[in-house]
Amino acid sequence: MSASAQFTITFHSHFAQALPELGTPWEAQKVLTPRLLALNEPLAAELGLDPTALQGPDGLLLLTGNLVPEGAAPVAQVYAGHQFGHYSPRLGDGRALLLGEITDANGRLRDVHLKGSGRTPFARGGDGQAAVGPMLREYILSEAMHALGIPTTRSLAVTSTGRPVHRETELPGAVLTRVASSHLRVGTFQYARATGDTELLRRLADHAIARHYPAAANAENPYIALLKAVITAQASLVAQWMLAGFVHGVMNTDNMTISGETIDYGPCAFMDAFDPSTVYSSIDQAARYAYANQPAAAEWNLARLAESLLPLLHENEQQAVEIATDALDGFAADYAAAWARGASEKIGLRHDVDGDAASVLMQEFLVVLEAHQVDLTLAFRHLGAAASGSAERARSLFGGAAGFDDWMERWLRLGPDGELMSQVNPIYIPRNHLVEEALASATEGDLAPLHRLLNAVTRPYEERPGLERYAASAPADFGDYKTFCGT
């Protein structure tokens, strides 16, 4: 392995150097016959990586960790986490590596990370592998989220490895090259706290502040400011999920970032018909991470972060607990404010003018949606047309129900802005039946459906002729959708 002159960019190894206790130096497994299945050229350019060079032989080696670029010092990160409420003291990257960081075109530090790059010391019983389908799934979902304007980790590439992966059947293996503003998780803080080494915890917190919340460094107590900033960022993130009908599915504390980006696209999915009890994950038997439970799950996770930070919040434990409780009390208000802002926009009203009325109208609309089992995405999109004078498509979604007509009449009186609505209510989301279709074809070697779907969902607000089937809800025979985790 050697660095190549083709990649003039220098990687950093800030995390590896600043926090050696939280990363084990490790190498990616050898790829046998790498083949690029998806490459995010705009993201590559943003990172200063030449998309043409990435498609060459050395590019494929770089994207799979088989060529360690100048300055990189790959590590498998260690973290703890509550999984479905149960604490695991040592999880860590079982099949992933942090390659290093890149300073992007905007001067921001970005992690370049590999998923499916082989077993690490944290693999436990796992095989360290990832299959083509789930890695492309993360690529589609994360890039759709980004296009929707929802904070998320990004996908730079999916490369098939030529190595078979043994699941229920034998599947082709792949590596996802993921980009994130960092991979610091609530679980990273839980791990650092559990070591009992307060100086390590402080170094981790300082690292997080420098990377994500530099203004917190100037606060009287930077660690209280950090906690509050993460609470606000997560409250805003989950509000955006709720408004978009996104169900994360595995909101364990190791899958919640400090940055406020969505991470770990395993069993997640977007809802078709609006139903707050929606659960997609086949392993979430108790419906812990059902759509409607997501704000509470986030708050629960943030309480675990607050507990981890206690020694930094105040030297007196009782006072530290009071500070933490006070910060956590802010979650509900932060969430409500973020939701109300987004809700106003979705129904075309101005939050500063009609804020309270808009929130009430939105709540009422969701009740009507649920009662009539109407597609969430189409409902908002067609409402936009109704605001601009053509209500037929919206009315037909509700089958002419009086409840909807009554609601619409009251809403139209406030003069909603149809133009604004078409900028915030997508026409194309990664619908489950389309995602499954694209993944099944890709696994069989046909990438065309994947690229057609990506084309639709990465420009989600722009209605285009010929893409009608990407706007339609699932066919009736698609059935009860279930997703699988850890695949």
- Which parts of this chain interact with ligand AMP (CB under 6 A)? 91-96, 122-123, 126-129, 250, 254-255, 264, 266, 485-486
By CB under 5 A, is residue 294 in contact with Mg ion? Answer: no
Tokens of 152: 């998320």
Query: Binds 154, which of Mg ion, ligand AMP, none (CB < 5 to 8 A, cut-off by type)?
Result: none
Query: Binds 96, which of Mg ion, ligand AMP, none (CB < 5 to 8 A, cut-off by type)?
Result: ligand AMP
Angle between helices 317-346 and 351-372 (to 10 degrees): 80
Nearer to ligand AMP, 191 or 398 (CB): 191
Tokens of 304: 């675990």
Query: Binds 485, which of Mg ion, ligand AMP, none (CB < 5 to 8 A, cut-off by type)?
Result: ligand AMP
3-state secondary structure 52-114: HHHHCHHHHHHHCCCCCCCCCCCEEECCCEEECCEEECCCCCCCEEEEEEEECCCCCEEEEEE
Given 93, 111, 254, 334, the catalytic residue? 254
By CB under 5 A, is residue 58 in contact with Mg ion? Answer: no
Query: Binds 85, which of Mg ion, ligand AMP, none (CB < 5 to 8 A, cut-off by type)?
Result: none
Report d(CA 397, CA 404) in Å as an integer.
10
Nearer to ligand AMP, 93 or 143 (CB): 93
Report d(CA 236, CA 232) in Å as an integer.
6
CA distances from 388 to 278, 345, 424 (A): 32, 15, 15
Backbone angles phi, psi at 481, to 5 degrees: -80, 130
* Shortest reach from residue 187's CB to ligand AMP, in Å: 9
* Shortest reach from residue 250's CB to Mg ion, in Å: 7
Report d(CA 399, CA 315) in Å as an integer.
62
Report d(CA 39, CA 177) in Å as an integer.
9
Report yes or no: 110 and 178 within 8 Å, Cβ to Cβ.
Answer: no
By CB under 5 A, is residue 111 in contact with Mg ion? Answer: no
Nearer to Mg ion, 255 or 377 (CB): 255
* Shortest reach from residue 485's CB to Mg ion, in Å: 9
Query: Binds 253, which of Mg ion, ligand AMP, none (CB < 5 to 8 A, cut-off by type)?
Result: none
Give the binding range for Mg ion (CB under 5 A) out of 41-49, 116-124, 264-272, 447-455.
264-272
- Per-residue contact track with Mg ion, 212 to 251, x per CB under 5 A? ----------------------------------------
Nearer to Mg ion, 113 or 211 (CB): 113
The residue from 264, 272, 284, 345 that contacts Mg ion (CB under 5 A) is 264
Is 375 among the residues known to form the active site? Answer: no
Report d(CA 233, CA 236) in Å as an integer.
5
The count of other CB atoms within 10 Å of the CB of residue 467 is 17
Residue type, 125: G
The string over 222-232, giving b where at least 16 C-beta atoms fall within 10 Å of a residue's C-beta and e elsewhere, is bbbbbbbbbbb
Nearer to Mg ion, 101 or 264 (CB): 264
The residue from 255, 259, 344, 483 that contacts Mg ion (CB under 5 A) is 255
Size of site (CB under 5 A) for Mg ion: 2
* Shortest reach from residue 220's CB to ligand AMP, in Å: 36
Report d(CA 354, CA 342) in Å as an integer.
13
CA-CA-CA-CA torsion sign (96, 100, 102, 108):
positive
* Shortest reach from residue 282's CB to ligand AMP, in Å: 13
Residue type, 231: I
* Shortest reach from residue 83's CB to ligand AMP, in Å: 7
* Shortest reach from residue 189's CB to Mg ion, in Å: 15
Any idea which residue has 């509700």 for tokens? 398
Walk across the sheet containing 96-103 and list its strands.
23-25, 75-77, 96-103, 109-115, 170-180, 154-166, 35-39
* Shortest reach from residue 186's CB to ligand AMP, in Å: 12
Backbone angles phi, psi at 23, to 5 degrees: -150, 135
Q: Residue with the closest Cβ to Mg ion? A: 264
Question: 87: part of which helix (H) or strand (E)?
Answer: strand 86-88
Residue count of the chain: 487
Nearer to ligand AMP, 4 or 83 (CB): 83
Residue 117 is given by DSSP the state: -
Nearer to ligand AMP, 34 or 116 (CB): 116
Nearer to Mg ion, 46 or 264 (CB): 264
Positions in the binding site for Mg ion (CB under 5 A): 255, 264
Positions annotated as catalytic residues are: 254
